[in-house]
């Protein structure tokens, strides 16, 4: 039981004293980067899906 208490005490100390938390502007900048990257990847996947769907429709029309 002592090991568990020590673990929680050390974890709390690490979170409060050793961890380097981002500033508010850094957090906002990182959030914007993630949002933009998510949108770009979403549109790339959407375009690939559209092209693949049209390509397969074309192939199916040719074969029928």
| Both structure tokens of 32 | 């914007």
**pLDDT value, residue 24:** 97
**pLDDT value, residue 1:** 79
What global pTM score does this model have?
0.66
| Both structure tokens of 14 | 């690490």
| Whether residue 52 has pLDDT greater than 90 | yes
Per-residue pLDDT tens over the stretch 6-33: 999 999 999 989 889 899 999 999 999 9
Half-sphere exposure of 53 (CA within 13 A, CB side): 6
- Cα(59)–Cα(55) distance, rounded to whole angstroms? 6
């Amino acid at each position: 039981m002592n090991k568990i208490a020590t673990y929680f005490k050390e974890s709390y100390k690490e979170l409060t004293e050793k961890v380097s938390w981002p500033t508010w502007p850094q957090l906002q900048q990182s959030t914007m980067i993630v949002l933009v990257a998510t949108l770009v990847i979403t549109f790339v996947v959407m375009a690939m899906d559209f092209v693949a769907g049209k390509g397969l429709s074309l192939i199916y029309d040719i074969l029928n």
